[in-house]
Amino acid sequence: MPEAPLRLDPLAQVAATGAPRALRSTAGALVLLLVIVAVAAPVLAPYDPARQVDPPAARYQPPGTTLALVERTDGSVLLANRVDRVPGGLKIERLGEPRMLAADEVANLTADGVADQRRFLLGTDGYGRDILSRMIYGARISLLVGSLSVALALTLGLAIGAAAATGPRWLDSVLMRGVDAFLAFPRLFLVLTLTVLLPPSTALVVVVLGMTSWMGLCRLVRAEILSLRERQFILAARSLGLHPLRILWRHLLPNALTPVLVQASLLIGDVILVESSLSFLGLGIQPPTASWGNMVAAGRDVLVTAWWVSTFPGLAIVLAVLAFNLLGDRVRDLLDPRTATDR
Amino acid sequence: MLSVALRRLAASVLLLFLVLTATFFLIHLAPGDPANVLTDARTTAESMARLRAVYGLDRPLPVQYLLWLRAVVLRFDWGVSITFGRPVAALLGDVLVPTALLGVTAMIVQYLVGIPLGVVAARRRGRVLDDSIRLVSLLLYSMPAFWMGLMAILLFSFTLPLFPAGHMHSIGADGLSPGARAWDLLTHLALPALTLGLGMAGATVRFVRNQMIEVLHEDYIRTARAKGLSERRVIWVHAMRNVLVPIVQLFGLSLPFLLNGTLVLEVVFSWPGLGRTTFQAILARDYPVILAATALTGALVVVGNLFADLLHAAVDPRVRARPRPGGPGGPGGPGRPAGLGNLDRPQPALVGPLTGREGADDA
């Protein structure tokens, strides 16, 4: 029997969740900015986030430091606080000590010094790497882990939520009890135990975070399906004698999906927060891959002497999580005008 | 209500047992064991084998499991810590006190800050003050606890040397008078407790604000105002009673968050509590400690929720009268309060007309 899936107008549904209006806000702009930074990281980052250039001279430089970059003919690179062109060569000041380099030793010599310099807007870490560049690449990790974990959570939430809503009563009750149990358990303890057992990798972080954040989505899926089930078009489909799985797949799920997707995208902020905690504790994203959490951890021991190492990546986490939460707030306000600020 | 609570308790104990069993097999099946952690590359295979024999790690896994289970169930014996070399029960008993101290203090900060700010925001809804409070609370909610802790150390231990940067006591504090010792403890407690409490206050402010706004729409509030009661009385007596009811539930639900927070902040502040000890045990593959700590945190949450249920019944007459719709937290039950995360849609109205009338009666 040919059957056109009955659907509520998807565009109207998206509009009803408030997502489009919410996107046209400061929060939406912030999230968009994050995505752009993550995607365009190679273009935006001033330097390679992992390459160490003359670490002894570059390590723990405060924000705004500019160092002259001296390329030597033997291929090595020196960073100097000061360079002076003198007859016959270059006088450099590196690590507080003056040093002479003959003209034929320097590859990038110019008439009044050297051609290159390195400018560290947000300072450097203990390996002399540029913090700004690492933060820009860190946005990739945060968004990648955030979106992939949420995608996994969404899959689990849809499957389990649909099973609970459409399956037999006992299954519903077992699954929902399980969800309550999962919610009641201190998540970080669970996540830590899971991550320490297997060799650390970004994929493991994604899987563990995804497997521990599906519960709320599952509840929402179940609630959506339960309310849709009473709608006329589902009753009509049922009275036509369609197979329950077919009703689920072609009618219930597509119509439940929109609000669920909106909620799922807002979960990303929470996941970014947990990922950063995990990386801070040394069990998440492993160095040298830059993640905001492991960057904060790297600055912990030098908090007093090099405050910028921990401070800036932490600000990035706050900004990213705040952006997603603000967006979530907007959506909630538009869904429920009673708590909104604009009456 | 009591039977519901008991049924819930039984379900929780069963759940805890399942979680522990799963954890047991997970940690034992994963590659590597405590012997790897305790030794290095120079250790001979022979001494590794001896080490495993000492801890019973050489036996078949089901046998290890049954032995562990028998000890726990029959003698409540959780074994001996592999890294700390002490009985696990005594070890965890020692670290539970600092964590409880930290957690309870943080919760006091959370509610002392969160409730008044939430009420003020609700009363000034849509004004600059409301917007500012909302933004600040969202900022607190979005801040990673570990970073907040580090910034607190940077600002209030080093830049302004007001508080110590970590640990629970100063060196040599044992020799101090009781008063000075208490003061010493308090100064050490200040930063971690304030960090944790303020972080959690972010969610509380949002929750109280939204609840208060919802309650202020109720008819009985209009009645109270029409009777000419002062606004202060309407807010703090009539409306507050019904805002507090869901907060009691929030308390039970926020316990896992509290424990997560203590773990991270205990690591940051070198606070000798349950979280830090568990973290060290996880890193060292200290099986007995991991299992006992899992059981303990799970039990804490269960007891906290039970307490919240009983408290809820005490403040909300509807709960005493009949079980919650759909059974304990099950289908149809109230979801996670909206302030706690992004996941849930607007909180179903927990404050119905029944309590509404009840609140209006007392004037």
Q: Which of A154, A156, A189, A192 to mutate to test the interface with B (most CBs of B within 10 A)?
A: A189
Whether residue B356 is predicted with pLDDT greater than 60 in this model: the reply is no
- Among B134, B139, B153, the residue with its CB nearest the CB of A303 is B153
Per-residue model confidence (pLDDT) at position A339: 55
Q: What angle do CA A7, A8, A10 make, to 5 degrees?
A: 95
The residue whose two tokens read 């046209």 is A24
This prediction's pTM? 0.84
Q: How many CB atoms lie within 10 A of CB B139?
A: 16
**Cβ separation of A322 and B26 shorter than 8 Å?**
no
User: Counting every residue, how long is chain B?
Assistant: 363
Rounded Cα gap, residues A101 and A91, in angstroms: 6
A319 and A335 in contact (C-beta within 8 Å)? no
Helix (H) or strand (E) holding A82, with range, is strand A82-86
B267 and B150 in contact (C-beta within 8 Å)? no
**Considering Cα of B38, then B42, then B48, then B54, what sign does the dihedral take?**
negative
Rounded Cα gap, residues A215 and A179, in angstroms: 6
B297 and A191 in contact (C-beta within 8 Å)? no
Tell me the count of A-B CB pairs closer than 8 A.
185
How big is chain B by its Cα radius of gyration, in Å?
Answer: 24
Between residues 3 and 32 of chain B, which touch chain A (CB distance below 8 Å)?
11-12, 15, 19, 23, 26-27, 30-31
- Among B138, B268, B294, the residue with its CB nearest the CB of A326 is B138
Q: Give B307-332 pLDDT, tens digit per residue.
A: 877 777 777 766 655 444 443 433 33
Q: How many CB atoms lie within 10 A of CB B275?
A: 28
State how far Cα B330 lies from the chain centre.
21
Q: What is the ipTM of this complex?
A: 0.86
Q: Give A145-178 pLDDT, tens digit per residue.
A: 999 999 999 999 999 999 998 888 899 888 888 8
Q: How many CB atoms lie within 10 A of CB A330?
A: 22
* Percent of chain A whose pLDDT exceeds 70: 90
- Considering only residues B348 and B240, tell me which one the structure prediction assigns the higher pLDDT: B240
Residue B125, both tokens: 């809804």
Q: Give A252-287 pLDDT, tens digit per residue.
A: 888 888 778 878 877 899 899 999 999 999 988 988
A123 and A60 in contact (C-beta within 8 Å)? yes
Closest residue of chain A to B153, computed from CA coordinates: A303
Chain A residues touching residue B298 (CB < 8 angstroms): 185
Distance from CA of B318 to the nearest CA of A (A): 22
